[in-house]
Amino acid sequence: MLDMIATGRLAPGRIVTRTVGLHQASAVLESLETYGPTGVVVIDDFRDPFAP
């Protein structure tokens, strides 16, 4: 699969509909009951927004 990504035959980024921070993950999980579009949400920011 990694070879397919490297050669451009597979583009996993095409299924990512949006990216969110870890602090938004609970809202995304809550929305799963009514979530309609095809695709995935990726958590790409793991920083603590409340850290000094």
Tens of pLDDT, residues 14-39: 989 889 999 898 898 888 787 666 78
What are the start-end ranges of the E strands in 1-52? 16-21, 40-45
Share the mean pLDDT of the chain: 86
Please enumerate in sequence order all residues whose Cβ is within 8 A of that of 9, keeping only pairs 6 or more positions apart, or say none.
none
pTM for this prediction = 0.61
Residue 49 confidence (pLDDT) above 80: no
Name beta bridge partners: 49: none
- At residue 6, the pLDDT reads 95
Contact 43, 22 (CB under 8 A): yes
pLDDT cut 90: percent of the chain above it = 33
The answer to whether 35 and 11 have CB atoms below 8 angstroms apart is no
Q: How many CA atoms lie within 13 A of 17 on its CB side?
A: 8
